[in-house]
Amino acid sequence: MRSLNAAHEKQLWHGRKELVKATRTLFVWIVLALSLGSGPVTAAEISTFSAYVDSDVCAHLMLGPINSSRVECSQKTHKDGSDPVLVRLSNNTIFEVNKQKMISKLVGQLVEASGELKLNDGQMKLKEVRPIESSTIPQGDPARRLLDVRTFKTTGAPKTFEKIRHELAMMPYISEFDYISFTMVGDNVILSGWTVRTTNRSYAENVVKNIEGVNRIVNNIEVLPLGSMDMQIRAGARAALQQNLSRYFWGSGSDIKIIVKNGDIILLGTVMNEGDKNIAGIRCNSVSNAFHVFNLLRVQGAESGKKG
């Protein structure tokens, strides 16, 4: 009986081996056919450029010069859980990287990064990264523009800046869950931020393009997916905030913006006092399924105090 079973098992084992062999052969043929069908494989181009290592949150929000408040924002939000990203200094393009560990300890610093770029997806397959000093970037190099505060104080720009701000504020389909940020580099405008509507991304670009004094536009606005978990977090966060801070909400909008991305909540806008800012953070931390809360609300009094 035992020998019969053993013979049967041996037969089964042999059959399995044959099946595995056949599957492997088929797989090799499929891979071969696919690689032949796709034509000659081209070697991906490696780009090397100067970049600032930022947090995903601040890269989309704190546009403008790399100054102490930006570095502070980058390091704080990264510590709170925001992914590290690269911001190309020459044109402010944001790249997510495949190996975050390579840059996570360099957040808030300038680096020289090399890797394969996928410009359409804003992705970079990182090969090498090394920290650099700003002094190593030659004078006149486009990469220096983002480091120089004077770049952002062009004569005549305040009027154009105000016009852009007003037009973006008046966009019709901006909800409590969208935030469009922008800055001017000379007569070029960099748009950034987050929106839940794809059309807001192109609408913002079109509306700014038509403003007198604007030359070129870099559009870094990120369109957020409407996944069911994020939608629940959005609804939960708004309900929680409306309950305690209803004075910041009105029929068609609010002073507090709630950006939800992959379970993270980013609170933006301006509130009256530090207490309201803290309440907003506490209320959002209690929202089910939310991973991190980045409380970047500005306090009105503190701001005017700083200015004064």
Given 11, 23, 69, 286, the residue binding another protein (CB under 8 A): 69
The phi-psi region of residue 269 (left if phi > 0; otherwise alpha if psi is between -120 and 50; otherwise beta) is left
Q: List, as own/partner pairs, every contact residues 116-120 make where C-beta atoms lie below 8 angstroms and the sequence separation is at least 24, other chains included.
A: 116/44, 116/45, 116/46, 116/47, 117/45, 117/47, 119/93
Given 75, 134, 175, 262, the residue binding another protein (CB under 8 A): 175
Given 242, 262, 278, 285, the residue binding another protein (CB under 8 A): 242
Residues 6+ apart with CB under 8 A from 280: 241, 244, 245, 256, 267, 271, 295, 297
Q: CB-wise, 129 or 254, nearer to another protein?
A: 254
Q: Indicate whether 108 belongs to the interface with another protein (CB under 8 A).
A: no
Q: Indicate whether 253 belongs to the interface with another protein (CB under 8 A).
A: yes
Q: CB-wise, 62 or 124, nearer to another protein?
A: 62
Q: CB-wise, 21 or 153, nearer to another protein?
A: 153
Report how far apart, in Å, the C-alpha atoms of 216 and of each of 15, 53, 164, 231 are. Answer: 66, 24, 13, 34
For the record, the structure tokens of 186 come out as: 């000379």
For the record, the structure tokens of 206 come out as: 């079109």
Q: Indicate whether 251 belongs to the interface with another protein (CB under 8 A).
A: yes
Measured CA to CA, the distance from residue 206 to residue 66 in angstroms comes to 27
Given 103, 196, 218, 267, the residue binding another protein (CB under 8 A): 196
Residues that bind another protein in the complex, under the rule CB under 8 A: 61-65, 69-70, 152-154, 157-158, 161, 165-166, 168-170, 172-175, 177, 180-184, 190, 196-199, 226, 228, 231-232, 234-236, 242, 249-255, 268-270, 296, 298
